[in-house]
Amino acid sequence: MSFWSEICKKPGRKAGEVIYCSVSFSEDGSTYYYQTEDESIKVGDRVIVPVGSNNDERVAVVEEIEYFEPTKVQFPLDKVKYIIGKRPDKEDRKL
C-alpha cells in the first residue's frame, strides 16, 4: 500500500485517535455516542448497537463521525458502548 492510499484511507483521523459515532434511532430522535474501530463506517450507514442495561441489539443510523484523542473524548471511554457492526444491505441478505 502506498503512502497516499494510507493517508486517504483515514480522512481526518490521526494515529491513536478514538472514533466516536453519533447515532439516532429515528429521524427526529436524540443522538447517542458509540465507539468503533471500523473506519469503513460512514455517515448514513445503518449500524447495530447495544442498548440499555441488557445490551439489546437495535438498528441506528450514523449521523456524525468524530475523532478524539483518548484524553479529550466527549464522554469517558469506559462509559461509551461499541458499535457491533454494520447492518447488511438488502442485497447482502439475499445471498
So what's the pLDDT on residue 2?
A: 42
Contact 17, 68 (CB under 8 A): yes
So what's the pLDDT on residue 77?
A: 82
pLDDT at 92 over 80: no
**Nearest partner of 23 among 76, 71, 80, judged by Cα:** 80
So what's the pLDDT on residue 94?
A: 42
Task: Report, as an integer, the average pLDDT of 54-76.
Answer: 91
Contact 48, 85 (CB under 8 A): yes
pTM of the model: 0.77
